[in-house]
Structures are given as structure tokens and as C-alpha cells.
Chains A and B, each alone.
Chain A
Amino acid sequence: MQFDLSETQQLLAKTARQFLAAECPMPEVRRILETPTAHDASLHRKMAGQGWTGIAIPEDLGGMGLGMIELAATFEQLGRALVPGAFFSTVALAAPLLATAEQLAPLCDGSQTATAAFIEAEADWNPASWQCAARDNQLTGAKMFVPDAAEAAFLLAAARGNGTLGIYRIAKDAPGLEIIPLKSIDLTRRLYEVRFHNTPAEPIVTGPAAGHAIARALDIATLALTAEMAGGMARVLEITVEYAKARKQFDTPIGKFQAVQHMCADMYLWSESSKSAVYYAAYALDKNLPEAASALSVAKLYAADAYREIGNRAIQVHGGMGFTWENDVHLYYRRAKAGETMLGDNVFHRERLAKLVVDRL
């Protein structure tokens, strides 16, 4: 038994960290998030060149054929570097819904990005609440909080045909497709309302298989999101500890004051604990263990609280500097806050967990 990453997995993470330090340092993040879609196509292609777009996609479908642990290790580094843009929606949301080499090829090679549209006005992650209608391969309805929709070459949407859920592919230029930008707290991941007015759509998966495909895709997306969170919070802790060592008041590094030091200790505890939860979820999903579902909810709700609280402490330790636009902490903090509701907030995940551990369903 070995809980830590294997040597190859560590190498993968290290390579990713070095690559991102060179290709997407903070000034670059800040430049990209000022662009209309907070996405940089050339960076995206370079990341595809590393194989990350197909990291957990089988080799015969054009991917690298690695597993969920490698996927988590990669997203951890992306979260740490706060990489903006459509990489997450393409790789963690859209790709897991696709099943053929032909569909996946443009995503794996980085020539296209895509996204997936699930929740609607109620912002409920329970698929039973989704009402968007599919009739004669045309969609009608509205999807909310769709990430990176304006950048996507195509969208995948969950819609109901004859009462049962299916997944439909909508091309960017389809008639009757309306993409309305929302102005959200997370500057690195743009959100949109997407409306369909008899919009032509190609069914990708329908019938009972669609339910499974959606569940599986949401599991993978949740894992990727929590791994991003773990990477982001570890970086916020680092930034804060560096500051606590360097900043002096009363002729003393502020990190010597226990009130400050203990905040840092708590941040460390939350950050390391999130990592334990995320990698166990990755392992459970990779091995298809029966506890994968509960492990993912545990990771999601623990990491969501941890990332936000770490952000809170980080800002406090930075004093006035922490309240400025110039300081990087708020960029992570915004991401943390947005991640909290994405793919189900903590109330949702606790209820999901209650079904598993209280009702033992």
C-alpha cells in the first residue's frame, strides 16, 4: 500500500508544474483573464501538446491512456497555477461525455474546445430537475452557469426527449443558439446562460446509457475540480507563509505572532486534509470502488470549505495588501468561491452523502 504518488506520477506532476511556471506564470494569468473569454488558444494547444487534453482518455480513442490519479495530479497543478480558460470545461466536463475517437480527436489535439451544459434556472445538480426539451433533434430551453460557452466549438447539453435524458451536441454556429455572458466572481472561468430556440442538435447518447454517462462525467468533473482546489489552496498557503516570514511589524516577522502562525497552521491542516480526500477519491474512481460516490462527495465538500477558509485566512494575514487587486490571493479566492457551488454545493453533497451513509442506499 502506498498513498503517495508513484515516481512516475510525481514526475508527471513535476513536469506539469515546471511547464506551467514557464508558460502560464501569474502575469500571464492576469493578461488572459482580461481577454473577453479568459482563454488563450495558443496556451491551450501547448497543453494539448503535453498530452493533458487526453490524459485519462484510452489510447485507442486518441488519449494518453492514463488514469484518474494522473488526471487529478494534472488538475492539481492547473489549479495551483490558476490556469484560466476552457481547458477544464473541455477536458473535465465535455470529453467524459464522448465515447468515439472521431468525437474526441479535435479535443485531444487541442484544435477545439468544448463545454457541457447541465443545470437550469433552479441551479439544481440533480438530473431529475433538468427540463430542457429535445424534439426531432431540436432543443428548446435554457441552461445556466455554463462555463466557457462562448469559447466552445460545440456544446454538449443534457435534454429530455420523450421524458428521458439524453446528451446532445450543438455546434457553435447552430441557428437558435443564444449565448449570454454572465458576470461572475471567478475571473478565470467565464460563465454563460445558454438558450436554445428549436436549435438543431445531434443526439450523442440517449436512453438509459445517458444517465450513466452523465453520472460518470460528473464524477470525473468533480474529481478534477477538487484536485484544482487542492492545488490552489496549497499555493495560497505558500504565498501566505512567505508573506508572514517577510512582513515585519513591531520589528518582528508577523509569522512569529501566534495569532498569525496559528492561522497558517490551520491552513496547512485543511490543505493537507483536502489532498488526502482528493487522492482517495481519485483512487476510488480509478478502481471503480463502490465507495467512489461517497469519496467524491467527501472530497468536494471538504475541499470547498477548506479552499474558502484558506482564502479567508490568507487575506487576513496579508492585512491591507490582501484586500488589493494587485495581490494574487483574491484571484484564487474568487475561484474558490465559484468552485463551492459548481457541480453541487455543500448542502447538495451532504444530502447525497446522507443517502449513502444514513439511508445506506
Chain B
Amino acid sequence: MDLTLSPDQIAFRDELRAWLAANAPAPITRGAHESLPQRFEKLRAWQRRLHDAGWAGVAWPKAYGGRGASLIEQVIFLEEMARAQAPPMANTLGLGLIGPTIIHFGNEDQKRRFLPKILSAEEIWCQGFSEPNAGSDVAAIRTEARLDGDAFIVNGHKVWNSYGWIADWCALVVRTDPSAAKHKGLTYILVDMKSPGVEVRPIRQISGESEFAELYFKDVRVPAANVLGKVNQGWEVALGTLMHERATLGASITILYRRSFDRLVELTRQIRRNGRPLSEDPLTRQKLAQAYTELEVFRLNQMRAVSRVSSTGVPGPEGSILKIFWSEFNQRFQQTAQEILGPYGMLEEGSPHSVDDGAWSYGFLRTRGNTIEAGTSEIQRNIIGHFVLGLPKSY
């Protein structure tokens, strides 16, 4: 066990730290006069600046616009972003899930075509897995693709597609062989969202906003060259994406958590109850210390997982503990925040007296989705039970 950084890694960290100190913008959070698209464009501009300075895709190969460093540098990158309280990058799914899947399964043309624009935020990605009748049971999807010359014709309906409203590209899982067994007839294909026949309908979610959408595909022509991996072997590719989703989505989210925690501590110094600041109230201190403990244990789990992946190559089923941990922690943390803020915690964006312009009431509602997106907590526990602990499959 050795957590010391090599001289190169230290140089990387120091250079990044200095760059962030000079360049990181103010937090890009919810504000009364900014719409979701306006905020998104700010995040995109921020990603572009990171990219121009060579900080996007730290662990991606140089040939495709990355920095060619190791996963360790990637972790340093995330920790320094958190430290600097810098906003996250815009292209969440492209960077965290789909890019790594393309790196692993893509051919040379696909890598050259897609990866650089993920890093520059020129092309935003969404993930088209879930359908109205296939959520946890992803392999039950029905959206079909029929080969017609050098293209597939796609017909079907996807739901809950985060970033669907802005995405330029979609990583789509489709059924190419309806006669094959459930997992055997699937294909993973990359679809240009501007193709004729793609329709995006926003879905209004619990928080009132529309961060996800549903996608309708009507006779959409997708070049066969856009198949990632092999035809009818899409399940393996999709699993690759799901493993990355479990293992890495939390990493970018950690940046936000640490910032929220620090902000909450700051608020406890300002809020007075029983004639003293809440930061001096023993019960509040207990709650904050508990939240800090869980946040820290999550960070360490993550560090340990990365260290394992850098020696074994791919994230394994133990990534499920990361997914359960960050999502359930975040729900507990938002509840703690609500207890600390009292009735002010429920005030929404634009309301008089709202705290941080409604960030906390939004956060409270938004975290309900954490234990559903990227594989529900129940599915993650099934994965641990069966694939890690070797218990019989429960269904």
C-alpha cells in the first residue's frame, strides 16, 4: 500500500492546482434568472476552457485528444476540481460512460471521429437504454433495427434520457435479431440525433425541470458503420457502459458533494438557533461529522476501486458498492441539510428567503432519482449478491 504520488504526478497536481486557481469560474448553480439551457452553455464553455488547456480526458489516449495519463491522474484531476470548488464538465455521459466504451470497443475510425468532440464538448451525448417496458431488465428492450443496405433502420421508443434535450449523439441499444435469446440479439449503435425521424419530447420530472426526455425513432437511417462492437453482440458493449456508469458517475458527483458539504458547514455558521450559531449546536455537529465520515469513506472506496482498476484494467461488479454508496449517501445528506435549514430548506428557486436560490429544495427532490438512475439500488444489491458473493440469482 502506497498512496504517495510520483514526482510526475505531483507536478501534474501542482500545475493543475495553479491553473484552477487562476481559471476556475464561480460555481455554476441554479439561479433565478438562468434557465437550464443557459446554465448548460456555461458548463460547456467551462469544459471547453479545460479542454483547450489540456485538462479534459486526462486518462484518454493522446491520439484522440486526451492527455494520455493514467487513472491516477484522473483521480487527482477530480480531487483538485473539488478542492478548487470548480464546476463539473458539461458532457457528463460522453466523458464518463460513452467515451470509455468507445475507447474499449470502438474501431480506429470511430475513435477518431467521436472522441475528440466529446472532450471539446462540441458534441454532447445521451444514453438510449431504457424503454417504457425495459428498465431494470435492460435486455428486454424492443426498439428494433433492420439492416437495409449499408444502414440500419431504427424504430422504437426510449425513455428517461438524460441530456436528451441537448444531445447531438445517442448511444443506443437496439434489437437486431428478434429470434435470438434476450441477450443475444442486441446491438449497440451510435445515432446522430439530427437524423430525420428522431423526435425528442421533454419529460417534466419531480423537480419541475426537464433534465431528461423521451426519444421516438421512426424509420431512422443509421449507417452500419456506427455499430460499436459487433452486430448482435451489443449486450457485452452495453455492460461495459453500465460498469463505467457505476464506477465513474459517482466520481464526478463527488466533486459536487464535497462542495455542498462545505457550503452546508458555512451555512451552519450563519444560521442562529437557540441564541447561538448552529455550528455550535452539539446535535448539528454530530450530523455534520456523520455526513463528513460517509463522504470520506466514499472517497476512499473510490480511490481503492481506481487503484484496483488501474491494475486489472476494467471496473468489476464491486463497482456496485460505489453506486449504492453515493446514491444513498446523497439522500441522507440532503435530509441532513433539510434538518439544518428548517423551513427555509423547502423554498424553491426564485422565492423570497430561499437558501442558495432553492439549491437545497432542488437537491432534496433530485436525490430521489439517485437510487433509480444508473441501475436501482435493488439491482445493485442483486449484482453484489449474485456476482460478488456467489448467492443464487434471485429472479
Contacts and interface: CB of A to CB of B under 8 A. Distances in A.
Interface of A: 1-6, 9, 69, 241, 244-245, 252-253, 255-258, 261-262, 264-266, 268-269, 272-273, 276-277, 279-280, 282-283, 287, 294-295, 297-298, 301-302, 347, 349-351, 353-354, 357-359
Contacts of B324: 265, 269
B30 interface: no
Interface string B277-317: 00100100110111011101110110110111001000000
B383 to A, nearest CB: 8
A298 B254 CA distance: 17
18 contacts: A1-B2, A1-B9, A1-B72, A2-B1, A4-B307, A4-B311, A245-B390, A253-B392, A255-B392, A265-B324, A265-B380, A266-B381, A268-B388, A269-B324, A273-B325, A302-B297, A351-B289, A353-B289
B306 to A, nearest CB: 8
B15 interface: no
B385 A350 contact: no
Q: Which of A253, A276, A349, A359 is packed against the most chain B CB atoms within 10 Å?
A: A276
Contact of A350 (B3, B286, B311, B384): B286
Counting chain B CB atoms within 10 Å of each CB, the highest count among A6, A298, A347 belongs to A298
B385 A261 contact: yes
Contacts, number: 156
B389 interface: yes
A301 to B, nearest CB: 6
Interface residues of B, number: 51
Nearest to A10: B1
B297 A3 contact: no
A303 to B, nearest CB: 10
B382 interface: yes
B137 to A, nearest CB: 15
A244 B282 CA distance: 42
Nearest to B321: A269
A177 B307 CA distance: 52
4 tightest Cβ-Cβ pairs between the two chains A and B: A350-B289, A261-B385, A3-B307, A354-B285
A245 B391 contact: yes
A241 B279 contact: no
Interface of B: 1-5, 9, 72, 75, 265, 268, 279, 282, 285-286, 288-290, 292-294, 296-298, 300-301, 303-304, 306-308, 311, 318, 320-321, 324-325, 378, 380-382, 384-386, 388-395
A8 B330 CA distance: 38
Contacts of B393: 256
Given A264-B389, A276-B297, A2 B307 contact: yes
Contacts of A282: 1
Nearest to A258: B394
A80 B57 CA distance: 42
